[in-house]
Chains A and B, each alone.
Chain A
Amino acid sequence: MSISVRGITKDFGHFKALKEVDLEIPDGQLVALLGPSGSGKTTLLRIIAGLEFADCGTVQFDGKDISDQTAGERHVGFVFQHYALFRHMTVFENIAFGLRVRPRRLRPSEQKIRAKVEELLRLIQLQNQARRYPSQLSGGQRQRVALARALAVEPGVLLLDEPFGSLDAKVRQELRRWLRQLHDEVHITSVFVTHDQEEALEVADLVAVMNEGRIEQVGSPEEVYNHPATPFVYNFLGNVNLFHGRVDDGKAYIQETDTGNLAFVRPHLLEITRQPNGANHFRATTTHINAAGPVVKVDALTEWGAPIHVEMSQERFQALRLNKNEVVFVTPKDIAVFQKDRAS
């Protein structure tokens, strides 16, 4: 089912959570709403679910306006950040809930409910935990039960609010891959909210980056990472070095004085050399080196006194034999320049 959000605005008192948001989500895609806290991403998700209602604007499923429908009528699966499992029901009853509350004429037979729940238990790999209560499960297991419960009613759309937010790093990784696999199997249009850029880039087909109640950019993970449309997106998706710069004849110049433009360079796109290599470089003094991990992180001060952050491979680091407090030459390999007024 495709989702179409048009001109959605939502205020909470004086706080403008969403400002005329438009978003098109094609059928069968896994979409990430990515943004810092307070950017309106959860509010947008809840409006799509019908748990919150917009002040103006419409939400359409498959081209049909469902703005006035309640959460139950919209037939969406919603997975809550803190799982929201029914604590007094077993895993089995949690998953069966959506089927059991149907009006009698639409309710499947007990046998069919049983079969459906068992199929979902297999899918989430918790066949042996059916008789347990949510409180007896680990965080990752609870999240999978929450997902199975949402899928049991065969929703047209699956919405997930920070699905991995309260899990530890390792479980998070596993569940992330698992969700991706699951989506490739089930192919249900899914939207998940996250503040973790790595998570969004790794899992989603499409990433919508949100900031202060607006969508800054929508695109594939490569697009938003490699071709950020705004300074905010550039900044939010990964580390950056910020320079003042100017553009002349299609060439970018980094400057030490404020010229009205901003230039961004990713840490791995700054190359450190021992020898100057033409005009395209500046001098810097290394101040700190962190060589633990696959990527070596080097902090340095430019000749005009601005701190920069450089990342390089272990091999490159070994070849350079870099030490602290050394003067080196830095070459930016790719610079993104934005007009200052857009950077605000």
Chain B
Amino acid sequence: MAASLQTQIRGTLAPRSGAAARAISEPTVVRWLLIGIALVFLGTFLFLPLAIVFATAFQKGVGFYLQVFRDPDTLAAIRLTLLAAGIAVPLNVVFGIAAAWVIGKFDFVGKSLLITLIDLPFSVSPVVAGLIYVLLFGLQGLLGPWLIAHGIRIIFAVPGIVLATIFVTFPFVARELLPMIQSQGNEEEEAALTLGASGWQTFFRVTLPNVKWALIYGVILCNARAMGEFGAVSVVSGHIRGLTDTVPLHIEILYNDYQFVAAFAVASLLALLALMTLLVKSVVEWKAGQQFAAQSASDTESNS
């Protein structure tokens, strides 16, 4: 994901001259054919479903649509999703920055192992991730009996949902920051240290501002995943209405109850979230691109 951000940025700031563009171009027919295929694909798999979500959501009118969001169970689901994301995202921001900093700035034994571990949630099925927590904290689980004895409920309760959400979202911030931190080297930090800045001052005034856009990008993706996660949360939730239902789980319940319009109305919330994420992501990419463009333009100038 980080790589694609980088290449997009590089792509926009290296405008090809007319001659070069012609040299690598294809005949008009081929070009339109390719564009056509891409548009048909996008239309079928993206725009059409999105349109259907909103069309179905408003099938019974705006009044009914608003009515859905007065239902206490729906409101509880929204509150729980916000809570889970509200805990998971900040924790993963702290974890992501720490991990990216350690991996990017220092050499140590087991570094590649740590990188692999960070990527684990990407490769493990979310259902398996959920099951891990059930096996660990569940009634029959490893720590279950001790937890029950002390009156602590994790599985089929809010803590389990938060834990599962943290697990599936923890690579996002670290993965976005890592290439950025690695590419920047240590010189600016060293400069800050020679100027008398403390470690914390160096971090907050130099390191963090330099990776600002990558961090925001990571947070957006992390948040989108945290709010949209279904598999892992579904396993640990227990589907107790009004108590352990998140928005995605609530949509499923409504759908299974044949309340299609209500299901799609709630789903439209997640669709809106996705659209917002895309919008913010585009703005961030554009901003980061500007920063890169200014940087590299002057680099080439000073090298010439």
Contacting pair B197 A87 (CB below 8 A) = no
Chain A-chain B contacts (Cβ-Cβ < 8 Å), number: 87
| Contact partners of A78 in chain B: CB under 8 A | 190-191, 194
Assembled-state Cα–Cα distance A134/B187 (Å): 15
Tell me if A33 is interfacial: C-beta within 8 Å of chain B. Answer: no
Contacting pair B196 A101 (CB below 8 A) = yes
Tell me if B59 is interfacial: C-beta within 8 Å of chain A. Answer: no
Q: Which residue of A lies closest to B210 (CB)?
A: A88
Interface string of A301-337 (1 = CB under 8 A from B): 0000000000000000000000000000000000000
Tell me if B201 is interfacial: C-beta within 8 Å of chain A. Answer: yes
Tell me if A61 is interfacial: C-beta within 8 Å of chain B. Answer: no
Contacting pair B212 A72 (CB below 8 A) = no
Contacting pair A97 B197 (CB below 8 A) = yes
Contacting pair A97 B192 (CB below 8 A) = yes
Tell me if A263 is interfacial: C-beta within 8 Å of chain B. Answer: no
| Stretch of A36-44, A116-124, A136-144, A201-209 at the chain-chain interface | A136-144
Tell me if A237 is interfacial: C-beta within 8 Å of chain B. Answer: no
| Contact partners of A133 in chain B: CB under 8 A | 294
Tell me if A126 is interfacial: C-beta within 8 Å of chain B. Answer: no
In the assembled complex, the CB of B301 is this many whole angstroms from the nearest CB of chain A, namely 7
In the assembled complex, the CB of A299 is this many whole angstroms from the nearest CB of chain B, namely 33
Q: Which residue of A lies closest to B209 (CB)?
A: A88
Assembled-state Cα–Cα distance A149/B197 (Å): 13
Contacting pair A80 B187 (CB below 8 A) = yes
In the assembled complex, the CB of A169 is this many whole angstroms from the nearest CB of chain B, namely 12
Partner of A139, one of B192, B196, B302: B302
Q: Which residue of B lies closest to A168 (CB)?
A: B304
Tell me if A71 is interfacial: C-beta within 8 Å of chain B. Answer: yes
Interface string of B192-234 (1 = CB under 8 A from A): 1111111001000110011010000000000000000000000
Contacting pair B190 A72 (CB below 8 A) = no
Tell me if A215 is interfacial: C-beta within 8 Å of chain B. Answer: no
Contacting pair B302 A101 (CB below 8 A) = no
| Contact partners of B304 in chain A: CB under 8 A | 168
Known: A87-B295, A97-B197, A153-B196. A80 touches B190 (CB 8 A): yes
Assembled-state Cα–Cα distance A142/B303 (Å): 13
Assembled-state Cα–Cα distance A247/B206 (Å): 62
Tell me if B40 is interfacial: C-beta within 8 Å of chain A. Answer: no
Tell me if A182 is interfacial: C-beta within 8 Å of chain B. Answer: no
Contacting pair B188 A71 (CB below 8 A) = no
Partner of B195, one of A70, A101, A135, A142: A101
Q: Which residue of A lies closest to B201 (CB)?
A: A101
Q: Which of B282-304 contact A (CB under 8 A)?
A: 294-295, 297-299, 301-304
Contacting pair B294 A136 (CB below 8 A) = yes
Q: Which of A56-76 contact B (CB under 8 A)?
A: 70-72, 75-76
A-B contact pairs, 22 of them (CB 8 A): A50-B194, A51-B190, A51-B193, A76-B194, A78-B191, A78-B194, A84-B187, A84-B190, A85-B191, A87-B188, A101-B205, A134-B298, A135-B294, A135-B295, A138-B298, A138-B302, A139-B301, A149-B191, A152-B195, A153-B195, A153-B196, A168-B304
Q: Which chain B residues have a beta carbon within 8 Å of chain A's beta carbons?
A: 187-188, 190-198, 201, 205-206, 209-210, 212, 294-295, 297-299, 301-304
The 7 closest A-B pairs by CB, nearest first: A139-B302, A98-B195, A84-B187, A101-B197, A78-B194, A84-B191, A135-B294
